[in-house]
Structures are given as C-alpha cells and as structure tokens.
Amino acid sequence: MNHHRRLRSFSLSRNLTATVVLSLFLSLTCVAVASFNVTSISFDEGYSPLFGDGNLVRSSDGKSVRLLLDRFTGSGFISSNLYNHGFFSAKIKLPSDYTAGVVVAFYTSNQEVFEKTHDELDFEFLGNIEGKEWRFQTNVYGNGSTNRGREERYTLWFDPTREFHRYSILWTTKNIIFYVDDVPIREVVRNEAMGIDYPSKPMSLYATIWDASNWATSGGKYKVNYKYAPFVSEFKDLVLQGCAVDPIQQVSSAGCSEKDVELESADYAVVTPQRRTAMRNFRTKYMYYSYCYDTLRYPVPPPECVIVPEEKRRFKDTGRLKFGGHSHSHRRRSKRRSRISTTANSDNQAEI
C-alpha cells in the first residue's frame, strides 16, 4: 500500500511539475513578446450598450465596464462602428465560483447587417460547475457558413477569474490570429480554396454575457443556477484598431488600403519563431478539440487546415466527441439578445 501511495505521489508530483514548467514557459514567453504597440480607449470613445442596459455598469472614469447576468437578462455592448479588418482586444476577468451555463463572448460579427451571409470571429468562454475550470472556444465563419463550423476548444494555464488577462483578435486580408495574453493560440491563413468562407465584410465588435444553459456546460447537462447571480464579467483596456466603416453606408470614406498596410505591418501581425513555439506549446497542452481532426465530421479537412502530425495523434478519436449539438443560428441570436426567464434554474452541482 505504501509503495502504491509513493508511486501515486510521485506521478502527481511529476504531472504538477510538468504543468508548472509549461505554465512558466508560456508566462515567460508572454513577457518576452508582450507590450504590443496599442492604445486603449474609453468606453464612450468606441462602444455603445447593446442590451441589458441596467446590467451594463461603466466605471467612473469610463475606462472599464462590467457586464452582468441575472435571472432577468444578460447584457452586452457593441462597437460604434463596423471595421473592415482590424485588431480587437480587451483585458477580461470572468465570473467565479459556480458558472455552469454561463457564456461570456468577445467577438466580431456583421449578422445584424448581413443576416444570411454574415461573417464572425469568436472567443466564447464557457462556464462550469464550482471547482471545475472555465473552458473556451474560438470559431470562424465566413459568408454565412454556419454549417461548416470551425471550432477549436481549449483550457487555460491560469485562472481567468482571479485577475485580468488580455484576449485579442487580429483580422487582416491575409490571416486571422487569436491571442491570449499576447501568445498566439490559433492562426487561420487565407488561401484561394477557402473562397467566400474567409470573412470579408465589415464587422462590429461585440462583448456579451448570457444564459446558454441548453449547451454550454456538458452539452446542457448543467444549467445556470441563479442562486449565484449576478454573474459579473469585467472588461478594461479596450482596443479598436482598424479601418472604421460608416455603420449606415458600410463604406469607408477614405478607403482602407492604408489601414490594411498598417495592420499587416504591426507587431501583433507577425508570428515570430518565438511566438510560433509558444503557440505550438499552447496547442499541445491546452487544445482539446479541433475541427481539423474531426474525421467523422470532416472526412476531408477543410482547405485552411494545416495538419500537424503531433496534434493529429492526440485527436485520433475526436470525431466521436460531442460538443452540445446546439443550433448555430439559435446560438448566434441568443448571445446578442438573450433574455432570461424569471424562473431560476434548479440547483445542480453534480460533478462532471
């Protein structure tokens, strides 16, 4: 018995050491490549309330905002302009404790303008039961291609509820990069085979918190429990860089070629060898689903997929995994204007 205990203790210690080492590596990488040359703006300089006005709380200096979800409504904000490519970024702190069924989204979209042919780039943070970690996913849609979802799902190397961390989306004519704390976690490089599936129309930036009890946690098994409400997500150091487009005319008065060049030459647009290493390490340790390796869903990987043998070996059974089975169109409508029933969901804290 003591022998088994020692072996178990050694195994736990070894796993903990490996996790700490990788976390330290990623942290050091962040320090090495941090400090993108970006300028934050106040809320009123670039954003407007979207829904749930009473649950959107601005700081006295206007530099940060809280989004609340209670039993009556979620809340959200939207950029005042659409952008024809851009860099969209914010430091975000997520709700803590029991957050099953809660989704915090930070994303670009133009569905309000192009309902049937919309483009979208997503960060969606998925709450969990108490004691379990937040998970999140990124997704890419172009020209209404919601039947060809491009989800990837991940965990994090830190607790996103304890302090602020920066999340960023870069969208250019050539590529899309998702960043966490200045570490690139995903890159989609445009190619001809993607065709109209590559986002190409002006988009707004959105941030929302809403009730996604029907799919967000264990495929809807665990619901939002309003005994723990309000659920509070915080946003600060907001960044909007790109070619602003008139939301009515949807055409830039000055053209976007100069802004596109500026975006593509910015520090955050360059995936250096150091960043490439950080991205590879992140994806090896923290990515637990990728559509590129879902061979049941896509027997032939979509054209933008770059198959990495080391990654593929980890996802040989991915096609059998299930992630909610929810309707994309319903989810997109819900995260913008989710209105919560006055009936609280039952208290459900069973372990996953």
Give the residue from 101, 28, 64, 69 showing the smallest Cα distance to 278: 28
Compute φ and ψ for 57, nearest 5 degrees.
-120, 115
Listed in sequence order, the residues at least 6 apart from 44 whose beta carbon sits closer than 8 Å to its beta carbon are: 62
What are the residues whose beta carbons fall under 8 Å from the beta carbon of 236, sequence distance 6 or more?
A: 40, 59, 63, 64, 65, 90, 91, 164
The CA distance from 263 to 84, in Å, is 11
Question: What is the b/e burial string over 63-98, where b = at least 16 CB atoms within 10 angstroms of the residue's CB?
Answer: bbbbbbbbbebbbbbbbebbbbbbbbbbbbbbbbeb
* Run of H or E residues at 236: strand 231-245
**Which of 43, 27, 23, 89 is closest to 267 using CA atoms?**
89
120 counts as catalytic:
yes
Stated as kind and residue range, the H or E segment containing 45 is helix 43-46
Length of the chain: 352
Q: Which two tokens stand for residue 103?
A: 């989704």
d(CA 121, CA 265): 21
Residue in 112, 124, 130, 264 annotated catalytic:
124
**Taking the CA of residue 220 as centre, how many other CA atoms within 13 Å lie in the half-sphere pointing to its CB?**
9
Q: Which of 120, 151, 234, 304 is catalytic?
A: 120
Catalogue the active-site residues.
120, 124
